[in-house]
A and B are shown apart, each in its own frame.
Chain A
């Protein structure tokens, strides 16, 4: 046994040693995978963000009209000054910002109240009909987020701002007040009715995971019910509430559909709709300033929230399975609460869909009587007076193309997201404790705090020209896939990590001892043991992508349009019934997808949601 201390080695031997150590490090599967994912995320998140920032301080050809002496590519603060300090800054930036914050906060608080109350009723009381409530909580995952907004419009719009009356005005013959028809109030309520479900799921899971002996211990020590709630139960659900808060707040900050349907007609702009109207006319510099403002506000909120709750706990939902908690008896109030729940279910699920379907059978908007009945929006041959001459939805080749695009986009996105989930889960879990693993996990978190529409905006500036080995993607279908996959990275990483944590590390080690290569270990041990989790993840991604609007609205072109973006275009063209019919088609497709995918391997939407 020759050279056994380092000093005795020759230079060549030392070099050999370093090479061997490096080779060993790099050939660990978790290291290779981490490095690959770092590169991927660098391309998908970091470079686009960087490019967007650069665009806001670079002179573009459209800026030359205003900046006469400048050359294309020069550095300029013009866009920032214009959007933040000039006379139009109030209209362009500060008002929309205020509106966005109002809506996000309002919707989040209302959603918390609804979701928290429902969770408590379901987990902690003997209220009947829990099965239905649980199923209902998945409804917002199936309906596009602006479904309720569209239904709201059918019900409450007024002739003054909307051109034709809504159902309420039609029946009562009284003009619906403006505050009820358009603007912040309807946007807040319709968003809250959609996003309450995050709070419901998270809080219910947290309440389920609380060991009731903690509360019983409190009771034995003589504390009153309210005191126990405040001192024991509440602190334990705070992290769940915080996760719901981050999720809802950042979603509503970046949401486009609701504000576009209920805000824009009365010039009530939010950052997202203002961003769209800027980029829509090619004013990228200004638009990106708004996107950056949006991102900063969303990030600051998340940071404050996490500071308050402590560490990153709030990012993780609380798993844990049922300790049997004592159920509170509602006694006389049972009827009342059941009534509230039934009404609520009616309001969020049955009523909107009924209204939308009803409207699709109306020839002219605003006339809800039977003699206005038509099938033209579904199977019309195309009449120049209806829907700008487009045939009915079921006969319209554009709709079929949009539906096919939606399905393709969702399948590709779900596939790559599940694939990244496996890689990220493995890389992060096997590398636990190393800096590399931490870096990957943190980088994967970034898209989570970037609001949807801003994330889409980030991609406008990216890929207009080739970047490294990636060709120019702007206007292509591939870009939609890239942006959807990138936005899903936090979810892939989270579901990948939790699936991977289910497999104790000894199972893989035992295979390693038996001589299995990393690939054999993955194929024969890890994958079979985690696949159920990935099917549920696949389903979740499929469904969310199917009805995603904010993320892609800035990136679609007529040939790459998906159903979600088509509803917006139709509504902007004033073809309300056609838009509503497309939403119905979209929901039906989601349901079919859900049905088919959940046949495999016992994955299910409820499982994907951790129910």
Chain B
């Protein structure tokens, strides 16, 4: 069964800190939504409000068609009644119970029969490839194994909504890669509506069907990874997503579909925007040439940073510094003159005052 999560005008304060500020989100059935943002932006708080571990100050939350929280109606369902599972950052496996008992805990509360319980535990251990670990205690397992058990514990009682708070952040880089694959498959197979919290953009980009980028308790943009990457709704999002970072150049609209950066112009569809703007262009959307070209702008290669599959070139012209990305090994040498070309359709234009995307 597939479940929608609807959050309306949700606000949560801690003293004077507004951790979640009037957030409204709808998570469609089967979505893998990632809450992404810098540390302290309110991701965990939003997730905990949905789970019921935190009581918000304003707003409403629906899970499926069940109203689980409403400030004005004074309703707040206990976490256990919301039909959801949560994987904690530190796993939170009960240290005095072995794997079997950790998994059985929720099933006993649901009063399942012994046979059913054993079957479910077996199944969920198999799903995370931990068959045979029933008798282990948490301290007898590695971090990665504990992580899998934490997942299995959630899978065993089959909630309709999965919540995960930075579940991979305590793992080393290799394991994290493996677990991403597993988690994505898990979602693919179960189809459960999932809300996933991370501050790691690669994690968000690779696993999600939707990403919500948060800043200071507010969702800046919620969209597919592809759109978040190519059409960041605000300067903050543009700057936060992408590695190497997007090139942001302040300028002003100097004519129809032209922005003056200072020493050169960039072609943009300006859609009647006037005045001060910021131009955003991804490093891979700039083409680079060692020979002079008609519509190319002359730069100097300040530094060339090959990394095997691609090469990052830092180009300079006066005060302007741009990052350019070329696939494969580049022939450009340091201090060499280069000509850069900007493609009109790849360029995003932001209003300088509001930071909002103009031509999206």
Contact B80 A529 (CB under 8 A): no
Q: How far apart sit A510 and B153, CA to CA, in the bound complex (Å)?
A: 10
Contact B79 A528 (CB under 8 A): no
Count, A-B residue pairs, CB within 8 A: 81
Contact B109 A509 (CB under 8 A): no
Provide the residues of chain A in CB contact with B72, threshold 8 Å.
3-6, 9, 17
Q: How far apart sit A153 and B195, CA to CA, in the bound complex (Å)?
A: 75
Contact A512 B110 (CB under 8 A): no
With A507-B92, A507-B94, A528-B96 as known contacts, state yes or no: A512 contacts B80, CB within 8 Å: yes
Kindly specify which of B83-91, B296-304, B316-324 makes contact with the partner chain: B83-91
Provide the residues of chain B in CB contact with A4, threshold 8 Å.
8, 60, 70, 72
Contact B94 A525 (CB under 8 A): yes
Contact B74 A513 (CB under 8 A): no
Smallest CB–CB gap between B109 and chain A, Å?
A: 5
Contact A515 B84 (CB under 8 A): no
Is residue B81 contacting chain A, with contact meaning CB distance below 8 A? yes
Smallest CB–CB gap between A531 and chain B, Å?
A: 10
Is residue B78 contacting chain A, with contact meaning CB distance below 8 A? yes
Smallest CB–CB gap between B26 and chain A, Å?
A: 13
Smallest CB–CB gap between B121 and chain A, Å?
A: 14
Q: How far apart sit A319 and B74, CA to CA, in the bound complex (Å)?
A: 42
Provide the residues of chain B in CB contact with A9, threshold 8 Å.
72
- A1-15: CB near B (< 8 Å → 1, else 0) gives 101111001000100
Is residue B53 contacting chain A, with contact meaning CB distance below 8 A? yes
Contact B105 A24 (CB under 8 A): no
- Nearest chain A residue, comparing its CB with the CB of B84: A513
Is residue B157 contacting chain A, with contact meaning CB distance below 8 A? yes
Is residue B73 contacting chain A, with contact meaning CB distance below 8 A? yes
Q: Which of B73, B75, B80, B96 contacts A514 (CB 8 A)?
A: B80
**Which applies to chain A's interface (DSSP): helix, strand, loop or mixed?**
helix
Q: How far apart sit A513 and B92, CA to CA, in the bound complex (Å)?
A: 12
Contact B95 A513 (CB under 8 A): no
Contact B76 A514 (CB under 8 A): no
Contact B92 A504 (CB under 8 A): yes
Smallest CB–CB gap between A15 and chain B, Å?
A: 10
Provide the residues of chain A in CB contact with B94, threshold 8 Å.
507, 510-511, 525
Q: Which of B55, B85, B95 contacts A529 (CB 8 A)?
A: B95
- Nearest chain A residue, comparing its CB with the CB of B88: A506
Is residue A573 contacting chain B, with contact meaning CB distance below 8 A? no
Smallest CB–CB gap between B89 and chain A, Å?
A: 8
With A516-B105, A516-B109 as known contacts, state yes or no: A510 contacts B96, CB within 8 Å: no
Residues of chain B at the chain A interface (Cβ within 8 Å): 8, 51-53, 55, 60, 67, 70, 72-76, 78-81, 84-86, 88, 90, 92, 94-96, 105-106, 109-110, 153, 157
Instruction: Name 19 interchain pairs, CB-CB below 8 A, sorted by A.
Output: A4-B60, A21-B74, A24-B76, A504-B92, A506-B88, A509-B53, A510-B88, A510-B92, A510-B94, A512-B52, A512-B78, A512-B80, A513-B79, A514-B109, A515-B80, A515-B106, A516-B109, A528-B96, A529-B96
List 16 additional contacts besides A4-B70, A525-B94; criterion CB under 8 Å.
A3-B73, A4-B8, A17-B72, A18-B74, A20-B74, A504-B90, A509-B88, A510-B153, A511-B105, A513-B79, A514-B80, A514-B109, A514-B157, A516-B105, A516-B106, A528-B96
